[in-house]
Amino acid sequence: MTDEFKTLRKFDAGERREGWLYSLPALEEQGIGKISRLPVSIRIVLESVLRNCDRKKVRRKDVEALAKWNAKSPANEEIPFVVARIVLQDFTGVPLIVDLAAMRSAVQRLGRDPKIIEPLVAVDLVVDHSVQVDFFGSPRALELNLDMEFKRNRERYQFLKWGQQAFKTFQLIPPGIGIVHQVNLEYLAKGVLSQTSEVRGQKSEIFFPDTLVGTDSHTTMINGLGVVGWGVGGIEAEAGMLGQPVYFLTPEVVGVHLTGQLREGVTATDLVLHITQLLRAQKVVGKFVEFYGEGAASLPVPDRATIGNMSPEYGATMGFFPVDRESVNYLRATGRTEEECVAFENYFQAQNMFGMPRKGQIDYSVDIDLDLADVQPSVAGPKRPQDRINLPELGSKFRELLEKPVHDGGYGKKQIDLREKHVVELNGSAPRNGAMFSTDTKEDQGIKPGEARNVLEMVSNRPTPDPGKEIEAESSQVFQHGRTHIGHGSVLIAAITSCTNTSNPSVMIAAGLLAKKAVERGLRVDPGVKTSLAPGSRVVSDYLAKTGLQTYLDQLGFNLVGYGCTTCIGNSGPLHPNIEKTIHKYDLVAASVLSGNRNFEARVHQHIKANFLMSPPLVVAFALAGRVHIDLSRDPLGKDKDGKETFLRDLWPSLSEIQHTMQSALTPETFRKFYRDFAEQNPKWNEIPSSTGDVYQWDEKSDYIHDPPFFENFSMESGHIAEIRGAHALGIFGDTVTTDHISPAGAIKESSPAGKYLMSRGIQSRDFNSYGSRRGNDLVMTRGTFANVRIKNLMVPETEGGVTKYFSPSRTGGSKNGEGEQMSIFDAAMKYAETKTPLVILAGHEYGTGSSRDWAAKGTRLLGVKAVIAASFERIHRSNLLGMGVLPLQFLEGTSAQSLGLDGSEKFSITGLSDSLKPGQQVTLEIEDRSGQQRSVPVKLRIDTPIEIDYYRHGGILPFVLRQLLSK
Ligand code: SF4
């Protein structure tokens, strides 16, 4: 180990162990900076920079610059952060392992040892994103969904098993175990790590903080435990695995001083929605947020983790809580060894970083105060997590949004009577002519005037399916029987889902207690509501079973559907076909209620336009109410078995009830029991055959795993940075285009280019699976790029979906009257490729917002896009584009595709690009319209750091890293 600053010191690691650490107090004694006043998150990054300082990858000046971090004006320096480990989920992890496999194949083709491609840090991949809610509301739902998952994903799982044996530092946690961030919190994270190395001629154990990056944006959940980590693009993670530091610019750190305590009836979910709204307004994008003060100290780690989880929603790189007694207690309570717990506490004590900081102890760039007592029960939506609504106001807000014009964020409906409902038969065909009634005017179906609220109760007896009955259909309709009545605001999906909340026993137990009280009063959920419970670990099932609460959840249809992401990632499965038809026919604004963290359009379900985030107990409450246009503080949820109106306050459990129930059910032994021998606990995984060998044998018959073309014709020459000339626009987009718009994760439509391609391969649409599950196949993913049904390309403003206009580069044909020929974005890209025409994308603000998704960049590159010019970029997507060799450029303030009057018929050139480029410099966008008139505007290069110039010159991070490894 190097010790550039002579800071290696001994410390008592506990359990009679002597350890070594790179001492930050010793660095401070050298007068380099006021380290003890730095935010704790910055100090943890500083430790990594100090420990890895070798004068090559990490220079002395990197250590000095960070040690001198200035709260009010942080230096614009690039920090080389070497992380201790990497976590992946399967949607992002499979393509990453595919890339590593492709690199091994490329190295073998060059006649070198493929094993030089090997992760240098520990990599854990949790398979959690592939389970879909096909079956629900039945005791068999878990088993049947798991069967479907294994059937659909067999090829991917075979491939992952190959990866498991091919790479030494790669641990795989099979499906059916849990959700990556909850597994990380409950099991993978250790607080501090150690490695054996030589110190002063002797073998010694060197301790360092547990740090990580993950390929999922909610990696920040681990910040609740005092672990520094955040989401990066898959491409950056790959570079990190292969020994590259993760580079980021010195951040500002926003200190959020928490005081007071949450009031009775207020949950951690309410708090995180409040914080999301507060911090979004404070513009914390690209910044670290650090919570501190006595209010922070009073929060248990699961509450802190819920707050850390939603950092991407408030825009911060991290939402960090320093390490204190609560952090150590959590490790102990979740079954970590005594050795690990003591080492964790002693290490942070020795580094002078133990305990929740109080006001005035730390210098933050910005200070914000929040009194926890001010937080109120809330939901957020219907499209953005930061749009918090106080619970009593949801009904009126929904009504307002329903009539608000679309361009103001509403649904543009006119003169709506929310009492109008449409009858839907769930076990037969849809009612002929879509029979409709209004409870004011009709008495058909036994509904009397003025009884709108009771409509749902009348059809509430969800029949228990016959477990012996053969399951012939592969859809959720199997367990949906009876008749329902739906209209605007009807709740059609109610999902207790997402690591954000399922990792937090207090809200899960609250949901169970609320269900218990509802069942005891005889309340039921309407059969039209698709109910599901998908926790992030089996520990949750254990405590819900031990406390007897699962029985009540089951009776309301919240049977266990799987241990995975489900509705949170959009794997909510189909609605009953008759429900889908009715939504479509009447263009209904139906609702979902979920305990997830994202709700933009088409994220949850393609047919559900209004999606509200809320705590698990509120999900149960809204499932009972069956609609979102209700004031739960005043209106009854329904009637009990004696016909008495029942209100939310009658069902809501008290804090002491929750705590009492929790204490009886959670033990460290439970965690130890469930986090061991994963493969043995999942026989289906053992049954999957796997190939062996260092190099993957690509199978041309596979439609899940395909050798990507990124290393085709790979050579050791890096090439030069050149100007882009004669480019055409493939798309012009407005603001807030998400990575899901660019590369959807959900269902593949038959009529889409990817759907047609799969059909041409003999695959039936019922076997399409989702885009997310096909990320190991570039041929599907390239066709799926910009194929979201909701993306709006302003080149064809009257149409929604992945279409564009193709303009002949020679300007002689290919269009009628020069208007351009309308076709799918993929088809246009392929037509442009025939003439080797470079392409550009023009976009508005926050381009690439949403989940980190490397295929949003990879697909862009494989379509032939050379540059994306946007008003602003989401952090990870910008870095992913650059990582794939696509140039990110930013319009200067006040300029946009609209202000320039662009319609996509123009030709574009980007000039001023050369090998001597500097990060952030201006270059020129030249525009030539169809009449041949030319003009030019300056645009800012969004290559932000010197190393990114190198990446770009090499055609992306992967060729850069591969050339480095091969040149050793
Ligand atoms: S549950 Fe949701 S937030 Fe958590 S990992 Fe899955 S998709 Fe991401």
Distance (Å) from CA 568 to ligand 1 centroid: 6
d(CA 349, CA 803): 58
Q: Could you please report the per-residue DSSP string of 49-82?
A: HHHT--SSSS-HHHHHHHHT--SSS----EEEE-
C-beta 498 within 6 A of ligand 1: yes
- Cα 531 to averaged position of ligand 1 atoms, centre (Å): 18
- Top mean pLDDT of 71-85, 143-157, 514-528 is at 514-528
What burial class does residue 16 get, using C-beta atoms within 10 Å of its C-beta: 0-12 exposed, 13-18 middle, 19+ buried? exposed
Q: Which ligand 1 atom minimizes the distance to the CA of 568?
A: 2
Tell me the CA–centroid distance for residue 56 and ligand 1, in Å.
37
Per-residue pLDDT at 892: 97
Residue 683 pLDDT level (bands cut at 50, 70, 90): confident
pLDDT score, position 624: 98
Which atom of ligand 1 lies at the shortest distance from residue 128's CA?
6
For residues 448 and 968, the model is more confident at 968
From ligand 1's centre to the CA of 720, what distance in Å? 40
Ligand 1: which residue has its CA nearest to atom 4? Answer: 499
Q: Which residues, including other chains, have CB under 8 Å from residue 812's CB and lie 6 or more apart?
A: none
Question: Measuring from atom 6 of ligand 1, which residue has the nearest CA?
Answer: 565
Ligand 1 centroid–CA 590 distance in Å is 23
CA distances from 887 to 864, 866, 925, 941 (A): 12, 6, 12, 8
Residue 432 has what pLDDT? 29
The pLDDT, as a whole number, for residue 479 is 56
Q: Ligand 1 atom 8: the closest Cα is on which residue?
A: 218
pLDDT at 732 over 50: yes
What is the position in ligand 1's atom list of the atom closest to the CA of 569?
Answer: 7
Q: Atom 7, ligand 1: which residue's CA is nearest?
A: 569
Is the Cβ atom of 336 under 6 angstroms away from ligand 1?
A: no
The tens digit of pLDDT for each residue in 94-119 reads 999 999 999 999 999 999 999 999 99
- 181 in contact with ligand 1, CB cutoff 6 A: yes
**Better-predicted residue by pLDDT, 606 or 325:** 325
Euclidean distance between CA atoms 645 and 728, whole angstroms:
63
Between 247 and 887, the more confident residue is 887
Q: How far apart are CA 882 and CA 676, in angstroms?
A: 39
Atom in ligand 1 nearest the alpha carbon of residue 502:
1
pLDDT at 739 over 80: yes
Per residue in 660-671, pLDDT tens? 999 888 999 999
Given a cut of 80, is residue 463 above it in pLDDT?
no
Assess whether pLDDT exceeds 50 at residue 464. Answer: no
Q: What are phi and psi of 5, to 5 degrees?
A: -105, 10
Q: Is 597 in the pocket of ligand 1 (CB under 6 A)?
A: yes
Compute the distance from residue 6 Cα to the ligand 1 centre, in Å: 42
Is the pLDDT at 476 greater than 60, yes or no? no
Question: Which ligand 1 atom sits nearest the alpha carbon of residue 89?
Answer: 5
Instruction: Classify 254 as helix, strand or coil.
Output: strand
Share of the chain above pLDDT 90, in %: 78
Structural element, H or E, at residue 21: strand 17-22
**Residue 161 Cβ contacting ligand 1 at under 6 Å:** no
182 ligand 1 Cβ < 6 A: no
Q: Cα of 523 to ligand 1 centre, how many Å?
A: 30
pLDDT, tens digit, 9 for 90 and up, residues 934-959 = 999 999 999 988 888 999 999 999 99
| Mean pLDDT (whole number) for 522-526 | 96
Q: Which atom from ligand 1 is nearest to the alpha carbon of 309?
A: 3
Residue 603's pLDDT is: 80
User: Which of helix, strand or coil describes residue 193?
Assistant: strand
DSSP state of 569: G
Q: Which pLDDT belongs to residue 158?
A: 94
- Could you tell me the pTM of the whole model? 0.85
Residue 366, helix vs strand vs coil: strand
Which band of pLDDT confidence, cut at 50, 70 and 90, is reported for residue 480?
low
Residues 370, 272: Cα–Cα separation, whole Å = 12
Q: Closest ligand 1 atom, CA of 536?
A: 1
- Reference 879, options 261, 118, 457, 249; nearest CA is 249
At 690, is the pLDDT very low, low, confident or very high (cuts 50, 70, 90)? confident
Q: Give the least confident one: 427-441, 551-565, 867-881.
A: 427-441
Would you say 21 and 207 are in contact if contact means Cβ atoms under 8 Å apart? yes
Whether 499 is in the pocket of ligand 1, judged by its Cβ within 6 Å, is: yes
CA nearest neighbour of 840 among 864, 818, 819 = 864
Is residue 466 pLDDT above 60, yes or no? no
Chain Cα centroid distance, residue 222: 14
* Closest ligand 1 atom to Cα of 497: 1
- Region at 597 (left for phi over 0; alpha for psi -120 to 50; beta for the rest): alpha
**Pocket perturbation via mutation, ligand 1, pick of 132, 216, 598 by most ligand atoms within 8 A of CB:** 216
CA–CA separation, 930 and 955 (whole Å) = 31
Block residue for tokens 């550009």: 840
Residue 966 CA, ligand 1 centroid: distance in Å: 36
Separation of 476 CA from ligand 1 center, angstroms?
22
Q: Which residue type, as a one-letter code, is found at position 370? A: L
| Ligand 1 atom nearest residue 597's Cα | 3
Q: Examine the pLDDT at 436 and tell me if it is beyond 60.
A: no
Query: What ranges in 229-337 are assigned the alpha helix state H?
Result: 234-241, 268-281, 294-298, 301-309, 311-314, 325-333
Find out whether the beta carbon of 180 lies less than 6 Å from any atom of ligand 1: yes
Ligand 1 within 6 A of CB of 565: yes
The pLDDT of residue 428 is 46
Judged by DSSP in three states, 310 sits in: coil
CA of 627 to the centre of ligand 1 (A): 25
Say how many Å lie between the CA of residue 499 and the centre of ligand 1. 6
Of all residues in the chain, the percent with pLDDT exceeding 70 is 94
Q: Which atom of ligand 1 is nearest to the CA of 596?
A: 2
Find the 596 Cα to ligand 1 centroid distance in Å.
8
Residue 408 in this model has a pLDDT that exceeds 90: no
pLDDT tens digits, 282-318 = 999 889 999 999 999 999 999 999 999 999 999 999 9
Dist. CA 497 → ligand 1 center (Å) = 8
Tell me the C-alpha distance between 539 and 452, whole Å: 40
What is the pLDDT of the chain when averaged over all its residues?
A: 91
Take atom 1 of ligand 1 and give the residue whose Cα is closest.
498
What's the whole-number mean pLDDT along residues 897-926?
96
Query: Could you tell me the distance, in angstroms and rounded to a whole number, from the CA of residue 255 to the centre of ligand 1?
Result: 26
Band (pLDDT 50/70/90 cuts) for residue 812 is low
**218 CB under 6 A from ligand 1?**
yes
Largest CA distance in the chain: 90
Give the pLDDT confidence score for residue 817 in this predicted structure: 55
C-beta of 603 in contact with ligand 1 (< 6 A): no
- Between residues 190 and 813, which one has the greater pLDDT? 190
